[in-house]
Homo-oligomer: A and B are copies of this chain.
Amino acid sequence: MTETFVIVGGDAAGMSAASKAKRDDPDLEVVVFEKGEWVSYGACGLPYYVKGEIQSLESLVSVTPEEFREERGIDLRTGHEVVAIDPDERTVTAESPSGEVVQPYDHLLLATGAEAVVPPIEGTDREGVYTLGSMSDGKELREYVARARTGESFQQPDRGPACRYLEDCAGPVAVVGGGYVGIEMAEALAANDFEVTLFQRGDRLLKGFSEATSDRVVTHLEEQSVDVRLGAEVQKIAGDDIVEAVVTPTARIPVEMVLLGTGVRPRTALAEDAGIELGSTGAIATDAYRETNVPDVYAAGDCAEAFHVVTGEPTYAPLALTANRHGRAVGQTVGGTPTEGGGVAGTAAVKAFDVEAARTGLLDLEEGRAAGFDPVAETITAKSRAGYYPEGGDVTVTLTADRDTGRVLGASLVSEYGEGAVHRSHAIVGALEEDATVFDLENYDLAYAPPFNTTWDPVLVAAKVLGGNLRSA
Interface residues, chain A, CB within 8 Å of chain B? 12, 42, 44-45, 48, 53-54, 59-60, 62, 180, 309, 319-322, 324-325, 337, 340-351, 356, 358, 360, 386-390, 417-418, 420, 422-427, 429-431, 433-434, 436, 440, 442-452, 455-457, 459-460, 471
Contacts and interface: CB of A to CB of B under 8 A. Distances in A.
Given A420-B420, A449-B422, A455 B42 contact: yes
B430 A342 contact: no
Given A54-B390, A433-B436, A434-B434, 15 more contacts: A44-B449, A48-B388, A48-B390, A53-B389, A54-B388, A320-B455, A324-B456, A325-B443, A325-B456, A347-B447, A348-B447, A423-B424, A426-B447, A427-B429, A433-B445
Contact of A433 (B350, B444, B448): B444
Contacts of A444: 342, 426, 429-430, 433
Contacts of A455: 12, 42, 44, 320-321, 324
A438 to B, nearest CB: 12
Q: Which are the 6 A-B pairs with shortest beta-carbon distances?
A: A430-B430, A342-B443, A423-B423, A434-B434, A426-B427, A349-B447
**Chain copies in the assembly?**
2
Given A342-B443, A455-B320, A448 B389 contact: no
Contacts of A322: 445
Contacts of A450: 42, 44-45, 48
B429 A445 contact: yes
Given A322-B445, A427-B430, A389 B452 contact: no
10 contacts: A42-B388, A42-B450, A44-B448, A44-B455, A48-B389, A54-B390, A325-B443, A342-B440, A349-B447, A426-B457
